[in-house]
Chains A and B, each alone.
Chain A
């Protein structure tokens, strides 16, 4: 199988921290690959090493089967997690000035339309909203019509509607056959956009597959959430995993029948109880014992 990007045994440490601790993955052409994990899991360091911003301590990174060379910078598009832009320049000027740095340039009108920049084209880039800025940064990353696109937490800090906008743009890019690497700590984002998800924690990939397979493999049960803290000892008699999360109890079980029966038998107040099917967030809780958004 042909891969656009292969990462083998990548290590990167900082004094006192193993930020990336032996990460390997291969990304086929045309998919959206997600690195999902909490803050500090090593997602950003991983992609910054691939992008060339940081040097790896160890490991091999192959772009189209070869070491990265001058072509790499020309052919990839990069959206960093936080970037300030030059002051006093309008959205259009910023976009043009980045676009001019590349040999291959995306059609300007397409970029503007795809990233919904029409209304803010002539506005000072410091006077646009968070969502608008994120779309501008996305347009900058797309300015060279890249074959491989890096998106580092593209929706962090955005409101739900702005997040939807970004998701729409990413879907459009996917439809054009581009390969995308995306980091996120939002489970829905990974589930919605990614063809393959690698779940990262403490510098390691702890699970990697398509979201469907991951859920089928690890999360066939349901999650029951109880609003108040109860005597936890009672739960030990049920076949389940349980966690205390933000003053609620989350019970993951493949036998909801038995679980509910025990709760009722023990006269536990089940007002406010929520029963739902499991998602990647539950998977993360199961694999690490901690919350994704901790």
Chain B
């Protein structure tokens, strides 16, 4: 059995490796996105700023500070004011680039992230609204904050793993079925379990290898460091790609239409891309959006990767992410194998 799995693993991996265009795309695409995005974000900030207001009272954020100048600030359009109950939570979000500024109504202090262009903008707006009468004291971060690219990077890695897994397994299996390759395997003494295990292993190998290459490439380009252990990061991505591949198998369990598979993969990947905080934080978005986000495996991959890379989390710190990814993978695999036909 192991030998048969190994045989199909080798064949599938070679097939991918020799498809130079796909290989190149899998490596170059994420790097291009990172470069593109950091260039874009340096010159052109997102139009919406997010400002956290720390207030103990159960009042709406807009009413916690009665100050004429501050009210002017609150009236500025395109700023999303988010209420926090604790200063620590608000500052934590600020450190993770989830919000651009924190204002504490009790101590009349504000915090911004010095490395964030949005933080600078928010500060200027606050100063303008105060009309130089300086009600608020400034506290800024220098060391604890992270560069935007460091925040973005784990998300891009996660997204790349998602696309690579879903297309590499979901789309390819459907193509195999359409072209009769699955039919040919079905008459050989290969059990579906063996065939699918080989597909999973081959794709995990490809996803992890390209993740390593992209990681090294980006680190060389931007020179930042992963605060946690690389092993932890590797385990997280192994689980993450396993989960996405299982989802790919589920998508490809029956259909022989590539157009259908393509559509389903799109329907799954696009919401995940935008609701898993790959590009921007969901802080301050509607509660249902945040709830939906918590169900998406990519959210937990990206979350975990950020915890490891930006905060130095260990495997123990990521218990929740790990348990969630394993549970969801098993569910996908179970359903996929129930539905599977050659």
A97 touches B11 (CB 8 A): yes
CA–CA, A70 and B342, complex, Å: 17
Q: Which residue of A lies closest to B6 (CB)?
A: A100
Chain A proximity of B215: nearest CB distance (Å):
26
User: Chain A interface: which size bin?
Assistant: 20 to 34
Within 8 A of A (CB), among B142-187: 179-181, 183-184, 186-187
A97 touches B188 (CB 8 A): no
Q: Is B126 in contact with chain A by the CB < 8 A criterion?
A: no
Chain A residues in 8 Å Cβ range of B11: 86, 89, 93-94, 97
Chain B residues in 8 Å Cβ range of A86: 11-12, 15, 181
CA–CA, A246 and B107, complex, Å: 98
B188 touches A80 (CB 8 A): no
Q: Is B10 in contact with chain A by the CB < 8 A criterion?
A: yes
A101 touches B187 (CB 8 A): no
0/1 string, A82-111, CB within 8 A of B gives 1: 111111110001100110111100000000
B15 touches A73 (CB 8 A): no
Chain B residues in 8 Å Cβ range of A289: none
0/1 string, B259-299, CB within 8 A of A gives 1: 00000000000000000000000000000000000000000
A83 touches B189 (CB 8 A): no
Chain A residues in 8 Å Cβ range of B18: 87-89
B187 touches A73 (CB 8 A): yes
CA–CA, A87 and B189, complex, Å: 21
CA–CA, A140 and B11, complex, Å: 15
Q: Is A53 in contact with chain B by the CB < 8 A criterion?
A: yes
A73-B189, A100-B3, A101-B190 in contact; A83/B15 too (CB < 8 A)?
no
Q: Is B89 in contact with chain A by the CB < 8 A criterion?
A: no
Chain B proximity of A28: nearest CB distance (Å):
23
B15 touches A89 (CB 8 A): yes
Chain B proximity of A260: nearest CB distance (Å):
51
Q: Please, could you name 11 A-B residue pairs with CB atoms under 8 Å apart, sorted by A?
A: A51-B187, A53-B186, A80-B184, A84-B180, A84-B181, A86-B12, A89-B18, A93-B11, A101-B4, A101-B7, A102-B188
